[in-house]
Amino acid sequence: MPDYSYFATLTPRQQLNDLMHKYAQINYTDYGAGWKELERLYLKRFGKKLSILKWRYERTNQLKITMPGFLELQGVLQDAIEIGHEITGGILKGILE
């Protein structure tokens, strides 16, 4: 069994990125597929399309920002991490408990 203890030492942004990488590994797909699935489930759960919200924020503030950075600024990074745990089957969730 792999040692995932490193996960607890990551910042929340890094945890979300790692979850997206794990999603890609588990599903034999590319890294972007995890973000698409996260956005799909976020829309389903909260009724908000993250890519549009991020685009509007970037346009209004005239800057480029990463999705984890945007989620953190909006105060919803933990919601996204929870969805990340769901789409990876919770393989890293126990590390934090």
Give 5's contacts (C-beta < 8 A, 6+ positions apart): 95
pLDDT for 73: 96
Supply 56's token pair.
């509007």
Supply 23's token pair.
């999603």
DSSP-assigned letter for residue 20: H
pLDDT tens track, the chain, 97 positions: 677 788 889 999 999 999 999 999 999 999 999 999 999 999 999 999 999 999 999 999 999 999 999 999 999 999 999 999 999 988 787 666 5
- Cα separation, 58 vs 78, in Å, equals 21
Supply 45's token pair.
């759960």
pLDDT for 95: 67
